[in-house]
Amino acid sequence: MKPHVRPPVPAQSGRPRPRRARRAGAVATLAAAVLVGLVGCGTVPSGSSAPGAGSPAGADGGKTCTYTPSGSAAKKVSLPPTTGVADTGSVQYAIKTNDGTITIAMDRSATPCTINSFVSLARQQYFDDTRCHRLTTAGILVLQCGDPTATGSGGPGYRFPDELTGKETYPAGTVAMANAGPDTNGSQFFLVYGDSQLDPNYTVFGTMDAAGLAVVKKIAEAGTADGSYDGQPKNPVEILSVTQV
Which residues partner with 91 through β-bridges?
A: 106
pLDDT of residue 30: 46
51 Cβ contact partners less than 8 Å away, ≥ 6 residues apart = 66, 161
pLDDT of residue 19: 32
pLDDT of residue 35: 53
Sites in the chain below the pLDDT cut of 50: 1-6, 8-33, 36-37, 39-59
Q: Where are the beta strands (DSSP E) in 81-229?
A: 90-97, 100-107, 130-131, 134-136, 142-145, 158-159, 174-177, 189-192, 204-208
User: Are 5 and 38 a contacting pair, CB within 8 Å?
Assistant: yes
How far apart CA 4 and CA 178 sit, in angstroms, is: 3
Nearest-CA neighbor of 145 among 186, 204, 184?
Answer: 186
CA 155 from centroid of its chain's CA atoms: 11
Nearest-CA neighbor of 75 among 12, 130, 143, 118?
Answer: 130
Domain 24-244 superfamily per CATH: Cyclophilin-like (2.40.100.10)
Output the pTM of the full model.
0.81
Residue 58 phi, psi (nearest 5): -80, 170
| CA distances from residue 231 to 38, 85, 94, 143 in whole angstroms, order as listed | 12, 36, 25, 10
pLDDT of residue 24: 39
Report which residue type is found at 9. V
pLDDT of residue 61: 75
User: Are 3 and 9 a contacting pair, CB within 8 Å?
Assistant: yes
How far apart CA 141 and CA 139 sit, in angstroms, is: 6
Report which residue type is found at 71. G
How far apart CA 232 and CA 209 sit, in angstroms, is: 24
Under DSSP, the state recorded for 86 is -
CA 177 from centroid of its chain's CA atoms: 4
CA 242 from centroid of its chain's CA atoms: 14
Longest dimension (CA), the chain: 58
Q: Which H or E element spans position 38?
A: helix 24-40
Other Cβ atoms closer than 10 A to 132: 28
Nearest-CA neighbor of 239 among 117, 145, 174, 149?
Answer: 145
